[in-house]
């Protein structure tokens, strides 16, 4: 005999967007700071690229929602980098 299955609700949690507060240039890198996000946040993702369209971007996952800054070093000095953040 077949058992009737119970429907499972399907939902998505979408936290509010996080914005960069500041990005400061270092000798061979950058330091990014942001404000604490609201909602159910498990961490942040920082992306950086030499191109404005972020193609070929490198990324770093930050698993602590309490950390509000990230410092990246070992980049090429004197070059322009674009930085993004998301929750």
72 pLDDT above the threshold of 90: yes
pLDDT averaged over the chain? 90
What average pLDDT does range 3-15 have in this prediction? 79
Burial class (CB in 10 A: 0-12, 13-18, 19+), 46: buried
pLDDT tens by residue, 20-60: 999 999 999 999 999 988 878 889 999 999 999 999 999 99
Residue 63: domain span: 23-86
CATH assignment at residue 47: 2.60.40.10
Give the total number of structural domains in the chain: 1
Q: 25: which strand partners?
A: 30
In a domain, 7, yes or no: no
> Which position has the higher pLDDT, 45 or 11?
45
pLDDT attached to residue 1? 55
In a domain, 67, yes or no: yes
pLDDT attached to residue 80? 95
């Amino acid at each position: 005999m077949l058992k009737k299955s119970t429907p499972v609700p399907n939902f998505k949690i979408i936290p509010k967007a996080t914005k960069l507060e500041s990005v400061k240039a270092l000798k061979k890198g950058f330091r990014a700071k942001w404000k604490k996000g609201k909602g159910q946040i498990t961490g942040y993702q920082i992306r950086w690229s030499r191109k404005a369209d972020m193609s070929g971007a490198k990324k770093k996952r930050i698993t602590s929602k309490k950390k509000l800054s990230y410092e990246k070093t070992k980049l090429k000095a004197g070059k322009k980098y674009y930085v993004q953040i998301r929750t």
